[in-house]
Amino acid sequence: MATLKDAAFGKEVKVKRIVGEGPVRRRLMDMGITKGCTIVVNKTAPLGDPLEVTVRGYELSLRKSEASLIEIE
């Protein structure tokens, strides 16, 4: 199972599903991260936290723990 945390810098990936429940899942969905949407990994901090991504034309920051909940194709 590949997650967004494992995605390469500059790569465009498609969301397969969001694992997990509760407020973190709701936060990701409020950001527009849903099944089938495309995410581009723009930048990763030196220690891998946070990840800078583009979702639906918006620049967002995700924690490594959040990125590990997003399964990609």
Tens digit of each residue's pLDDT, the chain (73 residues):
899 888 888 889 999 999 988 898 888 888 899 999 999 998 877 776 788 999 999 999 998 888 899 999 8
Residue 39 sits in which domain range?
A: 4-72
pLDDT at 21: 86
Number of domains present in the structure of the chain: 1
CATH number at residue 40: 2.30.30.90
CA distance 47 to 19: 23
What size, in residues, is the chain?
Answer: 73
- Rounded Cα distance between 6 and 72, Å, is 9
CB count within 10 Å of CB 19 equals: 12
